[in-house]
Amino acid sequence: MNKRFYVYAYLRENGTPYYIGKGSNKRARYHTKRDITAPPLDKSRIVILETNLTEIGALALERRMIRWYGRKDNHTGILRNLTDGGEGGSGRIQSQSEKDKRAKKTTGLTRTKEQKDNISKGRLNGKQSSTKGLKFGPAIKYSCIFCNKSVSAGNLKQFHNDNCKDNPLNHNMIRTLKESIKDKISLSRSNQVKESCQHCGKLCDKGNLKKSHNDNCKYKVTI
């Protein structure tokens, strides 16, 4: 079993996470996006939450942590993530301009016979290559043993049963992870080099020194 994945967090200067992600190798330090989810310049504020995970386990944990802290774009929490995590763009809120652009591309288009046939095949139960003798019907659903929600086999394996948010063992794991995050934040803060403000003499890290001290210090005497 391939357990090369991990879940990571980017922290603000005050120690709260602003992004939760899943990755492998050097993904956490070299995140490709250069927007509000870009990694912090101070690498001590990149925290690895859990390692030695399978891809499914990492995706499930990523979703749990995003659900735990909530997202800023949908007013549920403090993270800058634009999706609920896991595979694909689940939960992403599209802007009106994106909706208009997509509608403009598809307006007036008609599907070819080949496209229609492929859609029909996708709606059939099973993965048979031929449609002869098969009947259309609803997809098979399975119930989660904890929340009783009826879902497909893929969702059942990825987000329910042992991975269900209503599984009491998962709540204990999240609490343990939250305590682990606090410990790692405290450790990263303690390892930061602190400098004295030249006006008030207060010891603080480089971020606060630049933001609220030295030239910006309220005790600075102007002549």
Strand partners, 5: 24, 53
For residues 22 and 2, the answer to whether their CB atoms sit within 8 Å is no
Structure tokens at 124: 């059939």
- Residue 68's nearest CA partner among 57, 77, 59 is 77
**Whole-number Å distance between alpha carbons of 20 and 61:** 10
**Model pLDDT, residue 127:** 47
Which residues in the chain show pLDDT less than 70? 1-2, 31-34, 87-95, 108, 122-139, 168-178, 188-192, 223
Could you report the per-residue pLDDT of 52-102, keeping only the tens digit for each? 888 888 888 898 899 889 998 888 899 998 888 876 544 556 667 777 777
**So where are the chain's domains?**
5-94+174-191, 194-223
**Model pLDDT, residue 8:** 92
For residues 69 and 20, the answer to whether their CB atoms sit within 8 Å is yes
**Model pLDDT, residue 33:** 60
Beta-carbon-side half-sphere exposure of residue 180 (alpha carbons within 13 Å)? 15
Residue 221: CB atoms within 10 A of its CB come to 6
The pTM assigned to this predicted structure is: 0.45
**Model pLDDT, residue 17:** 92
For residues 120 and 131, the answer to whether their CB atoms sit within 8 Å is yes
**Whole-number Å distance between alpha carbons of 71 and 52:** 26
**Whole-number Å distance between alpha carbons of 203 and 195:** 5
